[in-house]
Amino acid sequence: MELETLKGMVPAVLATLAPQESIYCEHGIMLYKDPSIGVGRKTIQSGGLLSTMKRTAVGGVPFFMAEFTGPGSVAFSRDGIGEIRDIELAPNEVLDVAEGSLLCAENRIPYDMIYVKGTNRIGRMMGFWMDRLTGPGKIALHGYGNIISMTLAAHELVTCDYGAVLFKSASVEARAKNLPFGSGLIGKLESYEVLELVGPGKVALQSIDPKQQHS
């Protein structure tokens, strides 16, 4: 499989597939394809059928993925301003990707999901899902705005808004925290909810929160 970034204000990725090569993506983001590309469905049942239905009903996680099989080319776009990163995962390398950021992945890459808990404050962050992808294989991701990459050493910490996370290594811990505005009771009541990312591992942030862009 070959991946080519189609640059522009709203970028896309073009995947060229050999005969019998296949990729999967979230339903509804295909831009165009060759007539020779076959289309199918990849059902997601991580953790069992009941767990998958619960995630779909409550968290909005897709119940199935679209699957495309070569030969030919197919293009995908997230319909948003930003950048695209093509990543080749090493064997057993595990990457957690923000929901709504995956453009496509080789079919041999196992797909799973993880849930990042929020602080459970009323009216605050309740948590969110991330796609979990395990190598080897190629993937393409869409980052909204500009992508900022870094590598955290063991126990090294960076604080960010939860909408800023594009991806992280599975070894990077993500934990929600309330950041008070100053001291005293009022400062605690008006605290700002953030994510702490703790190394070791790779982290990529995006400069636009996808939820704000599509609101």
Helices (H), 5-131: 49-54
Question: CB under 8 Å to 135, separation ≥6 — which residues?
Answer: 88, 89, 90, 91, 92, 93, 94, 95, 109
Burial class (CB in 10 A: 0-12, 13-18, 19+), 197: buried
Of residues 191 and 48, which shows the higher confidence score?
191
Residues in the chain: 215
Q: What is the mean pLDDT of residues 184-200?
A: 78
Residues 113/57, Cβ–Cβ less than 8 Å: no
Q: What is the mean pLDDT of residues 167-182?
A: 89
Distance between CA atoms of residues 86 and 11, nearest Å: 12
Looking at residue 53, its pLDDT comes to 54
Instruction: Assign 152 a pLDDT band (cuts: 50, 70, 90).
Output: very high
Distance between CA atoms of residues 72 and 14, nearest Å: 10
Looking at residue 84, its pLDDT comes to 97
Burial class (CB in 10 A: 0-12, 13-18, 19+), 126: middle
Question: CB under 8 Å to 191, separation ≥6 — which residues?
Answer: 178, 179, 180, 181
Looking at residue 156, its pLDDT comes to 98
Of residues 126 and 111, which shows the higher confidence score?
111
Distance between CA atoms of residues 76 and 16, nearest Å: 12
Looking at residue 203, its pLDDT comes to 98
Q: Which domain holds residue 175?
A: 2-213
- The mean predicted confidence, pLDDT, of the chain is 87
pLDDT higher than 70, residue 127: yes
Q: What is the pLDDT of residues 54-107, one digit of tens each?
A: 555 555 556 688 999 999 999 999 989 999 999 999 999 999 999 889 999 999
Distance between CA atoms of residues 215 and 209, nearest Å: 10
User: How many independent structural domains does the chain possess?
Assistant: 1
Compute the CA torsion angle 131, 133, 139, 145 (nearest 10 deg): 30
CATH classification of the domain holding 17: 3.60.160.10
Structure tokens at 29: 């983001």
Instruction: Assign 25 a pLDDT band (cuts: 50, 70, 90).
Output: very high
pLDDT higher than 90, residue 173: yes
pLDDT higher than 80, residue 123: no
Distance between CA atoms of residues 194 and 119, nearest Å: 9
Q: What is the pLDDT of residues 36-46, one digit of tens each?
A: 999 999 877 65
